Amino acid sequence: MKNNYIIDYVNENEFRKKERAIKKYNMLAYKKLLFDYYPSLREGNFLGVLVSSDENDKIDKYELTLPTDRTFTMVHGNITLHYSVYRDNKTVILETLTPEDILTEGHQKELTTYKGVMVSKSHKDLDMFKINLLSSMNKDGFFKLDTMPVWLLTTIIGIFSFITAFIVAKLIIK
């Protein structure tokens, strides 16, 4: 018990709101956070990447990326826990969870999901476009390079090169 660290918050209410949004929309990240990462931090095993260290005040800042779906990461970014360790006081201060915009919005409003990924109400079309683009890329989309005949691929590259050269020539002449 002597070697355990105390967990505290910069702003507990805001942090708990983001934590509840993670619980609602990304259960895997929430379970890892609650059952693996918090106990590890209490024991003094600091996970994640050391971002900065202040030797005078003995404060270390860490960023820990939580596990999440690849599509969620591509659309909204990694879910990251930002925390500081005060070595003198044996205290871990939980600062925030990012991406803050979607987590805060997820707490305030009931968000919809599209193909298993939560979609923001403020920029719904952009999120859905990203999800559709990633989905088509995962299925090799409409533009499959593996099955495309060599002559068609070289023709497309040649046309693209010609158009690029033409545009560059027009810009140089002006």
Is pTM, for the whole model, over 0.85? no
Residue with tokens 């003995």: 58
Instruction: Walk along the chain (174 residues) and give the pLDDT tens digit of each residue.
Output: 467 899 999 999 999 988 888 888 788 889 999 999 999 999 989 999 999 988 888 899 999 999 988 877 877 788 899 999 998 889 999 999 988 777 776 656 677 777 777 777 777 777 788 777 777 766 655 555 555 567 666 777 778 778 888 887 877 776
Look up the CATH number of domain 6-110: 3.30.2310.20
Rounded Cα–Cα distance for residues 52 and 58 (Å): 11
Report the candidate in 50, 72, 69, 71 with the shortest Cα–Cα distance to residue 60. 50
Local structure of 113: helix, strand or coil: strand
Q: Where are the domains of the chain?
A: 6-110, 143-174
